[in-house]
Structure 1
C-alpha cells in the first residue's frame, strides 16, 4: 500500500539537471521555507533581494541566522537562486528555471480536479531486474509524481489517462521495459480480491486534510477581521502555503466517486485560498518594510500574488511567461 510518507520529493532530485529544488519532507525544511518566501513575493518580477533582508525575513519564521544563511547558500549551489554582489553586499533572486517550475507548481496545487470519471484505469506494467535498481527508483518516483500507485509489484495504476509529457518521461526512463494500457476492473466473486483503490492509503490522506482544516480554520476569522499583520501575516502565509502545497503529492486527486463522503479536498482548498489571499496585502507591506531597511528605503519589485494569479499562471514581467 502506498503511503503519502513514501513520497520523497515533488521535484525529482536528478543530479544531472542544473536545477534541484528542495526535497519535500515531513516537517519543515529551511530551504523549502526560503523558496516559499521568495516565491510568494518575487515570483512575478524575479526581483533580487539583499541577502540580509532574506535572512531577516527567515529569522522571523523561527529559522536561526546561521540556518538561514546556510539555506541561501545551498539554494544558490542547487541552481534555485542566482546571486550577485555589489561591494560587500550580496543579493539573491529566483533563477529563471526555478521561477518557471514554481509557477507551474502553483497552478498544479490549485487547479480544480473534481471532474467526471469514466470508470477506467490506466495500468503501467514494467519489468526491470534488481541490478537496475537506480532505473527502478527513477521510474517509481516519476510514476508517483504523476499520481500513480503500486497495486502490485511492477504494476502501477491511476484513474486518469497518461499525459503525453508523462509518456515521454517514461519512455526515456525505461525504453522497452514498460507497457501501458487502459481498462475497466472486473470484480471477482472472491472476497479476497483487491480493489484498485487499495493501492492508496486513503485514510492517511484524509487525516492530512482533517489536520489541515483543524490547524487553519480558527485563524480565518482573524484574517477576515484584519487582525493578522506584520511578521505574523508573513509567517502564517508562508506556513499555510508550505503546508498546503504538499497535497499535490500527498493526494493523487482520485475521483470523488472512489472516496469517502465529506472528503476534505475542496474545503481545504477553499480555506487555503481564503487565508493566503486574505494575508496578501498585510504580508506584502511587511516584506517591503523589511527589505527597505537594507535598500535605502526602496522595495524592488515586491509583489504578493493571489491564488487567482497562480491559476492564471504567474509570469515573469520582464520576459514573458
Structure 2
C-alpha cells in the first residue's frame, strides 16, 4: 500500500502508516517539517506529499478537512483551490510535542519517592461514570494498583483532582479522594511497580530495536535515497512517539534490568538524525511543482542527544 520508492541495497523500509490514519500521518509530517504559520501551503502540495505514503487524493482531502476542524490548520483567503497554513496554536503544540518526543528517555527522572493516589467509590448504577473515570485516569498517566485505587509517579495532583471533580460531582453517591503517598517497599511484589506491565513494555522496546536495526545501519551508511528516507524517518517517529506516551518513566530501581529503552532511543535518534536532510529534500522535490516557495519553508527537526533544534532554511 505504501509507495516506498525502493531504496538502494534492497533495504527494507518499515511501513510509515502502521495503524496511522491519513489525518494522523499528515499531522506528523506537518509537525516535523513545517515550523511557521506564515507559510502558505497549497492543497495540491499536501496531496502530493501524502501520495509519498500511499494516501489517495480523496483521503488526503479528508485529512485536510479534519485538521481544519481540529484547529491545527486553517485556510488563507477564499481562493480556489484553497491555500492552508498551520495555526500559531498548532506550531506551539508541535514544538512542545517534538521536544517531548526527542528528549524522552535522555535522562532518568529526578526521584523523591512521591506518588499521587486517586481513590473513588461509585454506586453500581454509575457504570458509565466509572468507565469515564478510568479513561480519564489512564489519559493522565495513572494505572490501577487495585480496583478503585490508581497511582502515578510524581507530586502534581491538580489535574486528577480537577478531572474527578468534573466527572463525579453530579454522580449521586460517588466519593473520591486524591492523596500524596509514599510506599514503604517501593520495589517489592506489592509495591507500585507491580501495577505496570513492564514485561510487555520491555518487549515493545526490544521489538522496536529489532524492527529498525537494518534501517539504522542503512541510515548510518547513507544507502537510502530521499524518497525512502522520508518514509523511513516518518515511520521511526510514528513508532517512537508512542513510547513517550505509554512509558510511565519510572525510576531505575523499579525497572527490570537490563532495561532496553536506551538502546531503543539510540536506534531512533540515529535514524531520525541521519535521514533529516534527505527527507526534507524529498518533501521539497515533491511539493515544489505545486508550491514554488517550498524550499523556503520546509525544514526538519534535528535532535541532539539531549535537546532538539530546528534546522531551517529560512
Q: TM-score, normalised by structure 1?
A: 0.78
Encode CA deviations 1:70-95: one digit per residue, 9 max, x unaligned: 22222222322212366432222333
Equivalent of 1:219, from 215, 239, 247? 215
After TM superposition, the structure 1 = structure 2 runs for residues 269-280 of structure 1, keeping only pairs within 5 Å, are 269-280=265-276
Q: CA deviation at 1:204?
A: 1.3
Given candidates 34, 51, 55, the residue that maps to 1:59 is 51
Q: Distance in 2 between matches of 1:133 and 1:262?
A: 41
Q: Where in structure 2 are the equivalents of 1:70-149 lying within 5 Å?
A: 70-84=62-76, 87-109=79-101, 110-111=103-104, 112-129=106-123, 131-132=125-126, 135-149=129-143
Please, which of 244, 253, 258 is the counterpart of residue 257 of structure 1?
A: 253
State the match for 1:185 in structure 2. 183
Taking the TM superposition and a 5 Å limit, the aligned residue runs for 1:194-233 are 194-233=190-229
5 Å-filtered alignment, 1:284-299, equals 284-296=280-292, 298-299=294-295
Aligned length: 291
Aligned to 1:266: 262
- More divergent stretch after superposition (280-289 vs 67-76): 67-76
Quickly say closer, same or farther: Cα 1:295–1:306, change in 2 above 3 A: same
CA-CA distance at 1:293 after TM superposition: 0.7
Question: TM-score if structure 2 supplies the norm length?
Answer: 0.79
Q: Deviation per CA, 1:53-78: give whole Å up to 9, x if none.
A: 11111121122332222222222223
153, 160, 163: which one aligns with 2:154 = 160
Q: Secondary structure at the match of 2:29?
A: helix
Shift of 1:245: 0.5
Deviations 1:9-35 (A, max 9, x none): xxxxxxxxxxxxxxxx98222211111
Change (3 A) 1:217 1:26: closer
Structure 2 unmatched runs, 5+: 1-16
> Could you tell me whether the CA contact under 8 Å between 1:288 and 1:299 is conserved in 2?
yes
**What is the RMSD computed on CA atoms of the aligned residues?**
3.4
* Aligned equivalent of 2:30, options 32, 38, 48: 38
